[in-house]
Amino acid sequence: MGMRRRDFITGLGSSVFLTVQAGAQDKSIVVASTTSTQETGLFGHLLPLFSAKTGITVKVLAQGTGQALDTARRGEVDVVFVHSKFSEMRFIAEGFGVQRLPIMYNDFVLIGPKADPAGVKGKDDVATALRTIMDKQASFVSRGDRSGTHMTELMLWNRDAGVDIEREHGPWYQSAGLGMEATLEVAAATNSYVLSDRGTWLAFKDRFDLQILLEGDRRLFNQYAAVLVNPDRHPHVKREFGQAFIDWLVSAEGQHAIADFKVNGEQLFFPNTTDDKA
């Protein structure tokens, strides 16, 4: 065999090896998800199980729901995993998402100082509690970041409490513009009330001199869902791998893994593949 032919075959073998290697490296997806799924440690629990089964690696961008959906609109991720049904359905209606699949739920809770200056502890109506906080000018911290939690809070103020909070608030109402854990830190530092998803609260409650003051109102139901970014809109989206991740989340194995995730013996998220409770 001539030198030129040997060089060609060697070069061809190297090229094939590099192509295979690149293909293996490409078996990955990017997921834009709410801060609560990352900060609580849920993804740290789920992703190794998914990757071990499928060989697909997952990079997570932890963002508020609004920001996560905007990132997906730009085609920068393959999947969104968020918790604002209205925003998710609008995202799909605009042609940016393929299908919305419910994955799990927990609920929101109203957190506040143990002294409870507004006297809302024991109430079972979140709208009444919010109006009481406003009437007494008790300090309240909002996420203020277009997250699913922030959008739920605005809905509770505007629709349920009858307060256009973005226009009618006073100095007692702070907009943090932060993730849930950081917003809880602000609330603790300022003896303020705050709306939190229960999962993040359970993961970090021992760090804060706060407590749950109101829970159980049906309007505090918190559904999480996953949406594949539309590959017809963004052809580089990894449809096969992204769908495999969503399919695993709704499978018996994925649902069991979600139920199995606990912090200090407490379950933070509850699997479901329908959101009939919403």
- For 209-219, write each residue's pLDDT tens digit: 999 999 999 99
pLDDT-based confidence at residue 19 (cuts at 50, 70, 90): very low
- Tell me the average pLDDT across 36-58: 97
Average pLDDT over residues 117-127: 95
For all residues of the chain together, what is the average pLDDT?
Answer: 91
Domain ranges of the chain: 28-106+222-271, 107-220
**How confident is the model over 130-148, as a mean pLDDT?**
96
pLDDT at 15 over 70: no
Percent of the chain with pLDDT over 90: 87
Per-residue pLDDT, 122: 87
Same fold flag, 28-106+222-271 and 107-220: yes
Mean pLDDT of 242-256: 98
pLDDT at res. 113: 97
Q: Note the pLDDT of residue 18.
A: 38
CATH class, range 107-220: alpha beta
Report the sign of the C-alpha dihedral through residues 156, 160, 164, 170, in that order: negative
- Strand-pairing partners, residue 111, are 194, 212
pLDDT at residue 277 in the model = 55
**Helix/strand/coil for 14:** helix
CATH 3.40.1620.10 describes domain 28-106+222-271:
no
**9-46: buried (b, 16+ CB within 10 Å) or exposed (e) per residue?**
eeeeeeeeeeeeeeeeeeeebbbbbbbbbbbbebbebb
Pairing type for strands 97-113 and 193-197 reads antiparallel
Model confidence, pTM: 0.86
- What are the backbone angles phi and psi of residue 208, rounded to the nearest 5°? -120, 145
